[in-house]
Structure 1
Amino acid sequence: MDCWDSFVNPTYELEVGIGVTKIGNSSVSYLVAVFNADENDVEATAVAQGRFVHVYVDAETRKPTAISDKMRLSLEKLLV
């Protein structure tokens, strides 16, 4: 579910942050947030946020495939 939390100042640049919320066997859940870049507040409130799920699939069979150990280690660094 997408959510708009605050006013977007049309004169500001936007910054987008992304984090991993769950790592499954063949899927990863992400949280994305958009912030007004010109605000100097370290704890700035997101002006928008959303979630999505990426399912890893085998290119030939088009069926879900396990996330590699190397990829899992990289994704674990993004866990929020």
Structure 2
Amino acid sequence: MASEGLKARRRSDYGFQLEYRTRWSDNDMYHHLNNSVYYYLFDSVVNTYLIKHCALHPPTSPQIGLVVNSNCTYLAPIEFPAIVDLALRVNKLGKSSVTYEIGVFEQGKDEVMAVGGFVHVFVDRDTRRPATTGMSEALKRGLQDLVSHKASL
């Protein structure tokens, strides 16, 4: 998607938000949030949602999510000290896969600073293969709540 479309993202386009307070060590030598930190944050907001709303317990759940694709479009820099809101939605929900989108907003600002995401494929913990029935009902139910009706923006 073109960055112009991504720049139009608003907090209301997302169904779940998580606050993160940046740390001094999050900055890179250019004095802004390092690109690797964004991926750490994406993983954190998704897994927080899965644990709280989808009955996922990473150490013991029979299914686990493997990341098979990830991306990020950086629209404006963030630098320490800042508080960011990580906003999450589901753009596509398949039988065993889910495509997430995360908007990164600096608290107090309406403009989206970055938009990224990744694809999880849920597989059997032991075989690392998708179940023939797809993801568990608890996962589907929880993720369905985040499916975006604005995914075509």
Q: What is the TM-score when the length of structure 1 is the normalising length? A: 0.81
Deviations 1:23-44 (A, max 9, x none): 11111110011101122xxxx2
Point out where structure 1 has 5 or more consecutive residues left out of the alignment. none
Matched with 2:101 is 31
Is 2:105 aligned against 1:55?
Answer: no
Point out where structure 2 has 5 or more consecutive residues left out of the alignment. 1-70, 149-153
Q: CA RMSD in A?
A: 1.5
Matched with 2:76 is 6
Q: What is the TM-score when the length of structure 2 is the normalising length? A: 0.45
SS at match of 2:124: coil
Is 2:143 aligned against 1:78?
Answer: no
Which structure dedicates a bigger proportion of its chain to helix? Answer: 2
* Contact 1:9-1:36 within 8 A present in 2 as well: no
SS at match of 1:71: helix
- Greater shift in the superposed pair: 27-36 or 9-18: 9-18
SS at match of 1:73: helix
Provide the C-alpha distance between the structure 1 equivalents of 2:79 and 2:126, rounded to a whole number of angstroms: 46
Number of residue pairs the alignment of both structures matches: 76
What is the percent sequence identity of the aligned residues?
30
